[in-house]
Structure 1
Amino acid sequence: MKKNLFLVAILMLCQLVYGQQKSPVGVQLYSFRNEFARDVRGTMQKVKDMGITDVEVAGFYGLSITDYKKLLEEFGIKAIGIGADFSELDNEEKLKEIIKNAKVLGAKNVVTYWIPHKGNEFGIEDIVKAAKVFNKAGKVLKENGLAFLYHAHGYEFRPYKLHYLMDELLQSTNPLYVNYEMDIYWVYHPGHNPALWLKNYPTRWKALHIKDRQKGTVGNQNGNSDPENDVTVGTGDLNMRDILLQAKKNGVKYYFIEDESSRSITQVPQTIDYLRPYFK
């Protein structure tokens, strides 16, 4: 009996240690938006229990910026990135507020996730406008000790002349002020190879959103997909090995899991386990 109790105790200890093992990558907290809407503190505890220490924030859940910062500190979680709407980049006062919030949180990156456009219409005129806004805002952010990243969302990968709209955006923005966060799902979904884009622009992708797509999903170039198509990384149809090896070869600094499905609270820990061998 004593021997059995001893073995049980050892097993419980191992499970405790494993559960607190640090995640090798960060997480975009938008993944847990549904859970945060119901219980902010309880969800932050779950994030900590997954071993996650680095995050991109997605709103403050009704808290003041100072109270939100205290909550992150309480759970040993560090904000690496903070979001900014396109309209905020193009407004001097709103950009000042973004800078202030980023500094309060200690964030390093300011990330924009969408270029406004009409319906599914997206063309070179949208790229030209975005490049102008990005270059201007990116310069201000750099002068304030922050890095600006644009998170591409799928519609940028439409053909244009002899290449793609995304090439135009990359080539029209100053790398001193503007760089990019690759969401590998939103490169693959419109029919492209994320590893190849990483290879072709090795110095411009500073961060990676890691997510996988359910096998058999039909892609498009509109930046639209059912969130339930997000599956545990390693079980979908993206070639994770090639993508992650190329990203590491490039020296990509920041990696964040993003899982927009209703199963994210169970899938993210499984994704973390899958990713561990790539980050030893």
Structure 2
Amino acid sequence: MKKLSIIILAVLLSGLIPTLTFSQQKGDPLLQVPLGVQSYSFRNHWENGVESTLDMIEKMGFKELEGGAPGGMSAEEFVKLCAARGISIPSTGTGFEQLEENPEAVADRVKALGAKYVMVAWLPHNGDFTKANADRAIKAFNEGGKVLAENGITFMYHVHGYEFQPYENGTLFDYIVKHTDPKYVSFQMDIMWTHFGGGDPVALLKKYGDRWVSLHLKDLRKGAPKDMTGLTGPENDVVLGTGELDIPGILRESNKIGIKHMFLEDESDEELVNLPKSISYLKSLKY
């Protein structure tokens, strides 16, 4: 009887081990990854001085940058300036046409930055995003993503909101995910644009799990009109935690599925005021 009780206890405990292993402790920070920023947040500053802009990024406490060398500067020099400030470049971007036409050249640019990820943030379309637009993207993603994977690079499509056009029993975004090869195509969720286009960030993180590999963190002004254009005014980009997005819920689910890179992006006209407030908000969030 004693031996049987020990066996039963062992079985019960074995069911608990995964939960105990991966659960967070109360009071742990919700932000579990290095604080990253999208270089577009500093679009109004790069031309005034790359080094002074990087100094601002360092001072704000960012450890990761998604972007590339500003015009007129080599990738090698830019990487060196970032490294001197403790900033790495895990991810960068490219245009859709560049991926479609010459993925090898894209791979070369990514490797010059020492990055491991590259994302496309916009798909060509006129008016409503259509199945034909999605089919073109699927072909380019699968073919270009394969070339990038062969170069040790993960390709990501950055969701922009217009992909949530209804299609069959879901959306064109579901269609894109279904018809792209997980070996070659991953996704980056811009949580604001996902919400803006009618998607539910938490539900989509749960649904597609490890197809998501990074996030853009931003918030939408409460009550701002939403549509599927993927476009809105800078006044609708607000400090994290003050808008419509469920930031704590998104971070919890992102941690569960193992997302390693989150880039704060501010598209407002008050980025130097708003970014520190968003950083403080992120750091205040606990389990």
Q: Deviations over 1:134-169 (max 9, x none)?
A: 000101101001000000111001111111010000
1:234 to partner: Cα distance: 0.6
SS state at 2:124 partner: coil
Aligned counterparts of 1:36 and 1:262: Cα–Cα separation in 2: 15
Aligned counterparts of 1:154 and 1:59: Cα–Cα separation in 2: 27
Residue 157 of structure 2 corresponds to which residue in structure 1?
Answer: 150
Q: Deviations over 1:181-225 (max 9, x none)?
A: 000001111222110111111121110111001111010011111
Residue 5 of structure 1 corresponds to which residue in structure 2?
Answer: none
Residue 113 of structure 2 corresponds to which residue in structure 1?
Answer: 105
Aligned counterparts of 1:140 and 1:87: Cα–Cα separation in 2: 15
Q: Does 1:242 align with 2:252?
A: no
Q: Deviations over 1:226-271 (max 9, x none)?
A: 1221111011111112111111111111111011111112211211
Aligned counterparts of 1:59 and 1:168: Cα–Cα separation in 2: 34
Q: Within 5 Å, which residues of 2 pair with 1:251-262?
A: 251-262=258-269
Instruction: Work out which structure has the larger RCO, using CA pairs closer than 8 Å and 6 or more positions apart in sequence.
Output: 2
Q: Does 1:89 align with 2:99?
A: yes
Letter in 1 for 2:142: N
Q: 2:201 aligns with which of 185, 194, 197?
A: 194
Q: 1:183 aligns with which of 190, 196, 200?
A: 190
Aligned counterparts of 1:89 and 1:115: Cα–Cα separation in 2: 11
Query: For structure 1, which runs of at least 5 residues remain unmatched after alignment?
Result: 1-22
- The count of residues paired between Structure 1 and Structure 2 equals 255
User: What's the C-alpha RMSD, in Å, of the aligned pairs?
Assistant: 1.5
Q: Does 1:30 align with 2:52?
A: no
Change in CA separation of 1:239 and 1:194 when aligned onto 2, cut-off 3 Å: same
1:24 to partner: Cα distance: 4.0
Residue 8 of structure 1 corresponds to which residue in structure 2?
Answer: none
Q: Deviations over 1:41-98 (max 9, x none)?
A: 1111000001111010155232122222222122221111111111111123xx3232
* Percent of residue pairs identical: 40
Consecutive aligned runs of 4 or more in structure 1 exceeding 3 Å deviation: 277-280
1:177 to partner: Cα distance: 0.4
Q: Within 5 Å, which residues of 2 pair with 1:102-251?
A: 102-118=110-126, 120-251=127-258
SS state at 1:90 partner: helix
Residue 266 of structure 1 corresponds to which residue in structure 2?
Answer: 273
Q: Within 5 Å, which residues of 2 pair with 1:60-79?
A: 60-79=70-89
Q: Does 1:43 align with 2:50?
A: no
SS state at 2:222 partner: coil
TM-score (norm. length: structure 1) = 0.87
SS state at 1:221 partner: coil
Residue 3 of structure 1 corresponds to which residue in structure 2?
Answer: none
